[in-house]
């Protein structure tokens, strides 16, 4: 199957849509070029190349060989960026660890992925100290000599379809699944980001997303595909946002997890009248919010749809139609199918099913999950579990998940992951987590709880949960119920549960959060 280079404007001669040759050549071509500004620190190609050499020596000293897995739980930092570049070039398989995970969620990932090494920051020492890390040795990155410029980094033979990382996603019911994400998938994700975000030479892209998230990781190749720089910060901060944009002269903002809602709630006086942002791109802006956001923030919105399994992106709205996720990217074909696998009519909702003209656009497999792989990949097509409708113009509108999950602050959250934690509480007989409307971001979580005997104070129950769940997995609302109506297979009939939160305890309405 051909790579269809006409789809990828940044593809070069003899380029097999790979990461390694692109990154290696880019680092060597112009050593003095700045590729990333991390706050006030400039990272040049020479800096990155030197750190790659040092990290490759460290990998060897740790006994790591190509194909070995290395789990990484680091906040955004120059060191984290250098490590990701080194992993790209060394044939190791990177396992990004969401820094918000705790306890059971961390242990599951480490035991399932079986990395040889688990690299953490100081700040995560306490929360990982008592974990059963399985096969992994817990360690921290060493300090490197800034003056050590000896040797050239190595580039072992790495295939375009070889795994680059294992990215865990909680897009459906059940345990998190590890998406085997290849070198070609990362390259396609990066090429697609340029198209979706309307990136032009000279642009400065604001990078606030956690590098453990595909939304952040896919950005790091962009300076090697176009004449652009990244302006990275440790995390999103509402109070620092506009000063950071002004200092960076940033032209693009990726919106996830309610970022635009937060910016819309800031006083107008905090927004510079002549800011440099041109484009905000991402997912989750409703048709009714479209024009108010564009007018107030003075940006053009570029809505898209995708998932990790399809190299991050499948559609882009390049026309500006309010509320639409646009149309398929050139290398993607989209069908909307009913439960019998038949195409739905115009305006009707159907499951988004993807196929691609480019070999290797979709995940080859979920790690150790043959059943999930077979369910998602059927006859060369990717069944997403998401629903959309298509209008008379051919534009798509996202409707939601078919499965038992929620979208909270830019994260897919499995109800199963939440419910299994609460099932371990001695006072709880059963619980059910559902998504409800949120003022910021996509959804908040409401947990209905059936107690065994005596109920537990909500504040105490939430404090117990906070030690065991990631922040984005924590319910905002708690409600006591006498029992649940069940299906014949003993599943809660969640469609019967009330989404009204008026009778629920709201943790944000109390001093204890």
What HEC string does 435-490 produce?
Answer: EEECCCCCEEEEEEEEECCCCCCHHHHHHHHHCCCCHHHCCCEEEECCCCCECCCC
Asked if residue 287 has pLDDT above 90, the reply is no
CB 180 within 8 A of CB 309: no
Which pLDDT score is estimated for 312?
97
CATH class of the region 17-148: alpha beta
Which pLDDT score is estimated for 173?
57
**pLDDT tens per residue, range 43-68:** 999 999 999 999 999 999 999 999 99
Report the share of the chain in percent with pLDDT over 70.
95
Asked if residue 2 has pLDDT above 50, the reply is no
Which pLDDT score is estimated for 512?
46
Across the chain, mean pLDDT equals 92
Cα separation, 34 vs 366, whole angstroms: 36
Domain positions in the chain are 17-148, 405-509
Asked if residue 138 has pLDDT above 90, the reply is yes
Please give the angle made by the CA atoms of 426, 427 and 429, to the nearest 5 degrees: 95
Helix axis angle for 20-29 and 45-61, nearest 10°, is 130
Q: Where does the pLDDT of residue 416 fall: very low under 50, low under 70, confident under 90, or very high at 90 and above? A: confident
Asked if residue 405 has pLDDT above 90, the reply is no
Which pLDDT score is estimated for 407?
84
Asked if residue 400 has pLDDT above 90, the reply is no
Asked if residue 3 has pLDDT above 60, the reply is no
Which pLDDT score is estimated for 12?
62
CB 250 within 8 A of CB 231: yes
User: For 71-84, what is the mean pLDDT?
Assistant: 98
Please state which architecture CATH assigns to domain 405-509.
2-Layer Sandwich (3.30)
Report the share of the chain in percent with pLDDT over 90.
80
Asked if residue 1 has pLDDT above 50, the reply is no
Q: Which helix (H) or strand (E) holds 458?
A: helix 458-466
Q: Which residue has the higher pLDDT, 143 or 505?
A: 505
**pLDDT tens per residue, range 459-512:** 999 999 999 999 999 999 999 999 998 765 567 888 889 999 999 999 999 754
Q: Which tokens belong to 103?
A: 């306890």
User: For 126-154, what is the mean pLDDT?
Assistant: 88
- From 252, 160, 129, 256, select the one nearest 198 (Cα to Cα): 252
At 292, give phi and psi (nearest 5°).
-55, -40
Minimum mean pLDDT among 140-144, 342-346, 440-444: which range?
Answer: 440-444
Cα separation, 199 vs 278, whole angstroms: 10
CB 311 within 8 A of CB 192: yes
CB under 8 Å to 338, separation ≥6 — which residues?
A: 344, 348, 350, 351
Which pLDDT score is estimated for 151?
77
Which pLDDT score is estimated for 513?
46
- Grouping H, G, I as helix, E, B as strand and the rest as coil, residue 231 is strand
User: Which stretches of 210-320 are DSSP H helices?
Assistant: 214-217, 238-248, 259-265, 287-297
Secondary-structure percent of the chain, ordered helix, strand, coil, rounded to 5: 30, 25, 45
Asked if residue 352 has pLDDT above 50, the reply is yes
Cα separation, 389 vs 397, whole angstroms: 5
CB 120 within 8 A of CB 128: yes
Which pLDDT score is estimated for 139?
97
Cα separation, 131 vs 128, whole angstroms: 5
CA atoms 358, 370, 108, 492: torsion sign: positive
Q: Where does the pLDDT of residue 13 fall: very low under 50, low under 70, confident under 90, or very high at 90 and above? A: low
Domains 17-148 and 405-509 share a fold: no
At 90, give phi and psi (nearest 5°).
-115, -5
């Amino acid at each position: 199957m051909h790579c269809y280079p006409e789809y990828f404007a940044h593809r070069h001669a003899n380029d097999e849509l790979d990461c390694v040759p692109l990154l290696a050549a880019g680092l060597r071509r112009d050593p003095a070029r700045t590729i990333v500004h991390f706050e006030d620190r400039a990272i040049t190609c020479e800096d990155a190349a030197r750190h790659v050499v040092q990290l490759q020596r460290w990998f060897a000293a740790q006994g790591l060989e190509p194909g070995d897995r290395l789990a990484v739980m680091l906040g955004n930092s120059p060191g984290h960026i250098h490590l990701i570049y080194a992993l790209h070039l060394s044939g190791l398989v990177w396992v990004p660890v969401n820094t918000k995970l705790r306890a059971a969620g961390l242990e599951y990932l480490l035991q399932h992925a079986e990395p040889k090494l688990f690299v953490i920051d100081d700040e995560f020492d306490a929360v990982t100290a008592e974990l059963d890390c399985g096969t992994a040795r817990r360690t921290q990155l060493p300090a490197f000599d800034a003056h050590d410029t000896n040797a050239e980094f190595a580039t072992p033979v790495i295939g375009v379809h070889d795994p680059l990382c294992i990215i865990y996603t909680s897009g459906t019911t059940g345990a998190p699944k590890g998406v085997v994400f290849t070198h070609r998938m990362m390259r396609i994700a990066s090429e697609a980001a340029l198209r979706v975000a309307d990136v032009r030479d000279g642009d400065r892209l604001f990078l606030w997303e956690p590098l453990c998230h595909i939304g952040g990781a896919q950005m790091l190749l962009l300076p090697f595909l176009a004449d652009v720089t990244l302006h990275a910060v440790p995390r999103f901060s509402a109070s620092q946002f506009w000063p950071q944009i002004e200092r960076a002269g940033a032209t693009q903002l990726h919106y996830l997890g309610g970022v635009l809602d937060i910016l819309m709630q800031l006083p107008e006086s905090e927004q510079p009248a002549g800011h440099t942002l041109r484009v905000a791109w991402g997912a989750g802006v409703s048709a009714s919010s479209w024009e108010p956001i564009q007018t107030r923030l003075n940006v053009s919105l570029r809505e898209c749809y995708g998932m990790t399994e399809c190299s991050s992106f499948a559609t882009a709205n390049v026309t500006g139609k309010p509320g639409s996720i646009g149309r398929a990217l050139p290398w993607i074909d989209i069908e909307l199918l009913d439960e019998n696998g038949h195409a739905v009519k115009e305006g009707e909702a159907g499951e988004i099913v993807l196929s691609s003209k480019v070999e290797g656009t979709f995940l080859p497999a979920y790690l150790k999950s043959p059943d999930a792989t077979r369910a998602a990949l059927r006859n060369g097509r990717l069944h997403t579990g998401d629903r959309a409708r298509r209008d008379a113009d051919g534009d798509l509108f996202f409707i939601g998940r078919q499965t038992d999950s929620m979208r909270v602050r830019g994260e897919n959250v499995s109800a199963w992951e939440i419910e299994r934690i609460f099932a371990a509480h001695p006072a709880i007989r059963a619980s059910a987590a559902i998504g409800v409307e949120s003022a910021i971001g996509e959804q908040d979580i409401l947990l209905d709880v059936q107690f065994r005997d005596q109920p537990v104070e909500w504040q105490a129950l939430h404090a117990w949960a906070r030690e065991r769940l990631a922040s984005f997995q924590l319910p905002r609302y708690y409600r006591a119920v006498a029992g649940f109506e069940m299906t014949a297979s003993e599943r809660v009939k969640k469609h019967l549960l009330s989404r009204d939160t008026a009778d629920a305890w709201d943790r944000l309405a109390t001093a204890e959060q």
